[in-house]
Amino acid sequence: MGFRLAEWVVKPEDGSLVSPTATNRLEPMLMQLLVFLCSRAGQVVTKQEVLDAVWQGRFVSDETVKSSFYQLRKVLGDHPREPRFIETLPKRGYRILVQPIPLEPGPDSGSLYRKGREALTGLPSANSINQAKLYLERATQADPAHAEALSGLAHTYILIATYGVGRGSEFFPRAKTAALRAAELDPKLTEAHAALGIVRFILEHNFASAEQEFRLAIQLAPNEPLAHGWFAQFLASQNRLEEAVAEARRALEADRFSLPARRDLLEVLAMARRFDEALAEAHELFDIAPNSPEVHLGMVWFYYLQQRYEEAFEAFATGVKLLGVSPQMLEQARAAFEAHGMTAVLRLWLQIHEHEATLGQKNQNDRLVLYALLGERDRCFDLLEQALRDVNPFVFRLPVSPLFDSLRSDPRYAPFLARLGFSQPFPNP
């Protein structure tokens, strides 16, 4: 029966050692040596005990023994001077430092993978994303060579950063590791290349490499909405807005019932300033997900940019009500709107972000937009700096989104875009 040794899954029956980032195969003698050492984990075993158990009395030179330990350490990624796995005690022997854990029968990687996928159907939420993460991490632990589980996990880590469930600075590097491993195991896996495209785009700011990965993903699976959707977001950030809208529509055509694809199309249309089309898509989204607060609150921006303030307020009121904001707060918001207009409501919205924990998931993005719309540039650039440190994908809306028009004349704007990888700002719309 196999066992786990830290990040390694060891299977003596086939000689394999598998981790989330590598697969190795030991020759029988080296596997026998590893199994013997692990059977005495935590104990010092003498050289003679090793010879008796592994070489069973056959004559071997000291160099052969040293070479065997060297090869075993190399496979495990260990180092004799700073050992994690195998410690050498001069004149005494050797000791395994990690306690092996037997692999127990349990859910197989396939069923765990399917459950992780099921958790991501519909519009993602903090609960569904965390559920998917749990299942897919367990799937890759059960089978570190499960390429589809690894690519699904990379996608889940990206969702964690995109939806504000966790910081991108933590989860994008994890997504990169999982996606690279998935692509290594299965070079034709479209989701792995789509995830790598997102990583090249958001984490590395390598736009040329990102486009190559997106195009490869689409070539491998022309009807996969994920690759089209993220490619659309990428193209929009590059001010290639007609191409972006076309890609977003292809994502929706690939899956007419995909709520994320429909939401992405709506957002790309807004970045292209095609507000009438965006509103039409929003009504389609309302029909599918009438109780989604994010959809209603997202509509506030569209109405506000078109100076349709009554409709902007009603979208705001519906959204925060669905989030569970108190009736007293809603009355306060309506009074502020009637007395001082939508600007007063935006300021109240900022206060809600400070006091209502239910809005915490999107807090940073919404505050960025609110401060930009209110013309409070200093605060907005402070939040942009934080978003850049957090590797928040939302900052890539900055070059084209009409929500940030108030920032374009600021002397800090062009240098900030340069740090995102843009050689120069795009012309003002």
Nearest to 358 by CA among 294, 303, 264, 298: 294
Residue 28 pLDDT class (50, 70, 90 cuts):
confident
Asked if pLDDT for residue 123 goes beyond 90, the answer is no
Of 50, 72, 102, which residue is a domain's last?
A: 102
Of 200, 221, 242, which residue is a domain's last?
A: 221
Please tell me whether residues 46 and 89 are part of one structural domain.
Answer: yes
Judge whether 254 lies within some domain.
no
Q: What is the CATH number of the domain that holds 116?
A: 1.25.40.10
Please tell me whether residues 69 and 119 are part of one structural domain.
Answer: no
Residue 105 pLDDT class (50, 70, 90 cuts):
low
pLDDT of residue 429: 63
Please tell me whether residues 94 and 113 are part of one structural domain.
Answer: no
Q: How many domains does the chain have?
A: 3
Please tell me whether residues 376 and 429 are part of one structural domain.
Answer: yes
Question: Rounded to an integer, what distance in angstroms lies between the CA atom of residue 223 and that of residue 412?
Answer: 41
How large is the average pLDDT for residues 135-142?
Answer: 89
pLDDT of residue 359: 43
- What 8-state DSSP symbol labels residue 77? T
Please tell me whether residues 60 and 151 are part of one structural domain.
Answer: no
How much is the mean pLDDT over the chain?
A: 89
Please tell me whether residues 429 and 325 are part of one structural domain.
Answer: yes
3-state helix, strand, coil in the chain (%, to 5): 65, 5, 25
Question: Rounded to an integer, what distance in angstroms lies between the CA atom of residue 215 and that of residue 211?
Answer: 6
Please tell me whether residues 90 and 115 are part of one structural domain.
Answer: no
At residue 341, φ and ψ (nearest 5 deg) are: 85, -170
pLDDT digits over 232-247, tens only? Answer: 999 999 999 999 999 9
Nearest to 383 by CA among 399, 366, 397: 366
Question: Rounded to an integer, what distance in angstroms lies between the CA atom of residue 412 and that of residue 99?
Answer: 54
Residues 6+ apart with CB under 8 A from 134: 116
pLDDT of residue 1: 63
- Which structural domain range is residue 411 located in? 320-429
Please tell me whether residues 9 and 78 are part of one structural domain.
Answer: yes
Please tell me whether residues 335 and 397 are part of one structural domain.
Answer: yes
Please tell me whether residues 341 and 422 are part of one structural domain.
Answer: yes
Q: What is the CATH number of the domain that holds 66?
A: 1.10.10.10
Asked if pLDDT for residue 155 goes beyond 90, the answer is yes
Q: Inter-axis angle of helices 259-271 and 241-254, to 10 degrees?
A: 170
Question: Rounded to an integer, what distance in angstroms lies between the CA atom of residue 39 and that of residue 183?
Answer: 35
Of 102, 137, 155, which residue is a domain's last?
A: 102
Question: Rounded to an integer, what distance in angstroms lies between the CA atom of residue 332 and that of residue 328?
Answer: 6
pLDDT digits over 269-293, tens only? Answer: 999 999 889 888 888 888 887 888 8
Residue 361 pLDDT class (50, 70, 90 cuts):
very low
Lateral strand order in the sheet of 8-11: 22-25, 16-19, 8-11, 3-5, 101-102
- What 8-state DSSP symbol labels residue 256? T
What's the predicted TM-score (pTM) here?
A: 0.76
Alpha carbon 26 to its chain centroid, in Å, reads 34
Alpha carbon 429 to its chain centroid, in Å, reads 31
Rounded-to-10 torsion of CA 230, 233, 235, 238: -140
Please tell me whether residues 57 and 114 are part of one structural domain.
Answer: no
3-state SS assignment for residue 8:
strand
Question: Rounded to an integer, what distance in angstroms lies between the CA atom of residue 135 and that of residue 141?
Answer: 10
Question: Rounded to an integer, what distance in angstroms lies between the CA atom of residue 96 and that of residue 284?
Answer: 61
Judge whether 130 lies within some domain.
yes
Judge whether 86 lies within some domain.
yes
Judge whether 230 lies within some domain.
no
pLDDT digits over 87-104, tens only? Answer: 999 889 999 999 998 876
Residues 6+ apart with CB under 8 A from 353: 359, 363, 366, 367, 370
Please tell me whether residues 325 and 393 are part of one structural domain.
Answer: yes
